[in-house]
Structure 1
Amino acid sequence: MIGLLAGAWGLLPWLFTGLRLPLQNLWNTEVLPAQMPLSLLPLSQYELTTLVALLTVGGASAGLAIRIWAPERRKLALICTAAGVLVVQLSATVQSFMVLKAGLDGGTRSDLYFAGLLAGVSISIIAAMVALILIASTSRAMTTLGVGLMATPLTSWVSEALVNLLGAASLPATVLMLLRWLPAVLVGAGLAWCGLRSVKFVVVWLVNLVLLWVIPALFITVNYVLGSRVLLSDPQEITSATQQILAAALGPNGGAGPLLILALTIGLAGIGVREVLRRTRKG
């Protein structure tokens, strides 16, 4: 039941939209957005990072539930929970791709488009299982890695939910600012909770900071490259643009520096507060 609910929870932002399949460049007829068929996943090259967020948050939510619950038969509970998440996500995948296949105009381009989206969704489901296992782990190090892995997808999920529920124009500037800093806050809180008691935890800190640096850059690159119909028509331009955008996003002007500093500051401050509290209790 936890797995089923978590899988459905992950899809919640998409449910707010009415579940109409996004308009497709390769659709066999010209239709209005309201005439598109119902789909449990927003299958589109323009929604790839949204798909990642919807699916991985489902797995991460299930892992968090197991971590908090801490059942005696943890392995069995973990297997059953993962099965529940997979039932929801695989059912949504099958339904959505059946709808997509029925509406595409056919031909090589449609086949490549279908295969590419299927590969992206499959990788996202695998990532969801990885997030579930990491966050559900009894090891602080593994759970913290799960938090680092999910910080950016969770922020994307929250952003998508707010936009779909309230409308992009209705979001206050304060909310947009908070969303920008949310990944760093999540990673920093995870680092503070993890601590720095051994070399293993130092490695976790380094890996999480790298994830905070790299994953947002990957999201930016994917959204830019796959969101351009001009680039999609030229494979060589796709490769060139991907390299340029990724390099810029990872570079000193990409905006990752302040996020890394904030996460590191929160982590170190959290350790300091914990140490003060520990000494106070001893005294």
Structure 2
Amino acid sequence: MDQPQQPAAAPVSRPARSGAVEAALAVALGVLSAAFGLAPWLLTGARSPLQNLWAGEALPADMPVTLLPLSQYHATSIVALLTVGGAVAGLAVRIWRPGRRRLATGCAAAGVSAVHAIAVLQAFTTVGGGLTGGAAAALYVAGLLAGTVVAMAAAVAAALLLAAESKAPAALGVGLMAVPAASWLAFAASSAAGPGGTPAFLAAAWRWLPAVLVGAALAWCGFRPAVRLVVWVVNLLLLWLVPALFTSVSYVLGTRTYLGDFGEMSLLARQILAATLGPDGGAGPTVAVALAIGLAGAAALELRRRRVGS
């Protein structure tokens, strides 16, 4: 006599992680991402750059350890070191795809901000304590702190954009981070190779890397729905504006002649910005390359989609 068939066992599903577990993992992810962003500076030994307003004579080896390279000559590097940490956290959440995405994104951003707050507090306390007193030192610290706080906010924005489910904000996050990411890689390469040790081809590659990143992001984002065309316009504008801003800030803050003279600094900044954004500034070819990559990639992906759908 045939034995009655036993009912098939139900598939065993893994229990979903609790909100507390996902939150803790996301905070840890944010902490690690922020540390990764700071790594190129920390691996140099993290000795503070020499300060023009330092209270006494000091050699580079005599300077204290700081978690950020506080100096007007490193303004753009500070932006890169902070924002890349936020971008890595956002990308990590996007790859992870947790069940409570908003919770995880917020916790990851909080972890990034906590590390940044500790680094900023340690660096400014250490450098501020070693400077000469007076209005010039106070103005110097206040200016650096204002720029650093803006960079911290940009890091949070990058994390939120890149972790978003929709392609449009994620592609916008790539556009926001393209230039800082190239600056971060250049800083990491120069720190590892030492003065004059970066190969010439790598130095040339940093100029074109933002265009490649933006172009790839636009191709991935695509044209549909039509509102995504706004992302194309904004990303191309960012690719045109941000390198000019980086160049302007680096040049103006690196010129000791006008440092502290806000009228002359403002005039110099406007002149450099106008020259960099103009037809001879070199932004045109970069934007054109990004647009070409985006159009070609989007067309190829659309053709592939139609072939698969047919």
TM range (shorter): over 0.9
- Deviation for aligned residue 1:46: 0.8
Alignment of 1:253-268 (within 5 A): 253-268=280-295
Query: Secondary structure at the residue paired with 1:149?
Result: helix
1:76 deviates by 1.4
Q: 2:245 aligns with which of 191, 210, 218?
A: 218
User: Which residue of structure 1 lines up, in the alignment, with residue 168 of structure 2?
Assistant: 141
Q: Which residue of 2 aligns with 1:121?
A: 148
1:223-262 equivalences in 2 (<5 Å) = 223-262=250-289
CA distance in 1, matches of 2:240, 2:110: 32
What corresponds to 1:80 in structure 2? 107
Shift of 1:12: 1.0
Q: Specify which of 21, 27, 35 is matched with residue 54 of structure 2.
A: 27
> What is residue 16 of structure 1 aligned with on the other side?
43
Pick closer, same or farther for the CA change 1:128–1:256 going to 2, 3 Å: same
**Distance in 2 of aligned mates of 1:149 and 1:73:** 25
Q: Secondary structure at the match of 2:227?
A: helix
TM superposition shift of 1:108: 0.6
CA deviation map 1:92-142 (0-9, x unaligned): 111111101110110011111111111111111011001111111111110
User: Cα deviation per residue 1:171-195 (whole Å; 9 max; x = unaligned)?
Assistant: 2222122211000000000000000
TM-score when normalising by structure 2: 0.89
Who is 2:116 aligned against? 89
CA distance in 2, matches of 1:123, 1:39: 19
Superposed counterparts of 1:37-48, under 5 Å: 37-48=64-75
Note if contact 1:43-1:96 (Cα within 8 Å) is conserved in structure 2: yes
Contact 1:3 1:62 in 2 (8 A): yes
Q: Equivalent residue for 1:4?
A: 31
Please say if residues 16 and 161 of structure 1, whose CA atoms lie closer than 8 Å, have aligned partners that are also in contact. Answer: no
Q: Secondary structure at the match of 2:32?
A: helix
- 2:64 counterpart SS class: coil
Matched residue type, 2:236: L
Q: Identity percentage over the alignment?
A: 55
Q: Among 282, 303, 306, which residue is 1:276 paired with? A: 303
User: For residue 13 of structure 2, what is the aligned residue in structure 1?
Assistant: none
Whole-angstrom CA distance in 2 between matches of 1:211 and 1:168? 30
Q: Which amino acid aligns with 2:174?
A: V
Please, which moves more after superposition, 270-279 or 1-10? Answer: 270-279
**What is the deviation of 1:168?**
4.1
Q: 1:263 to 1:169 in 2, by over 3 A?
A: same
Q: What one-letter code is carried by the residue in structure 2 that aligns with 1:59?
A: G
Which of 75, 94, 97 does residue 67 from structure 1 map onto?
Answer: 94
With 265-274 and 230-239 compared, the bigger mean Cα shift is at 230-239
Q: Could you give the per-residue CA deviations for residues 230-278 of structure 1, whole angstroms, max 9, x where no partner exists? A: 0214322111101100000110011001101100000011012112222
Aligned to 1:171, the other structure's residue is in SS state coil
What is the match of residue 163 of structure 1?
A: 190
Rounded to whole Å, the distance in 2 between the matches of 1:282 and 1:86 is: 44
1:104 and 2:131 equivalent? yes
Following superposition, the deviation at residue 279 of structure 1 comes to 2.9
Deviation at 1:147, TM superposition (A): 0.4
Separation in structure 2 between the aligned mates of residue 168 and residue 251 of structure 1, nearest angstrom: 31
Deviation at 1:20, TM superposition (A): 0.3
Question: Which has the larger helix fraction?
Answer: 1
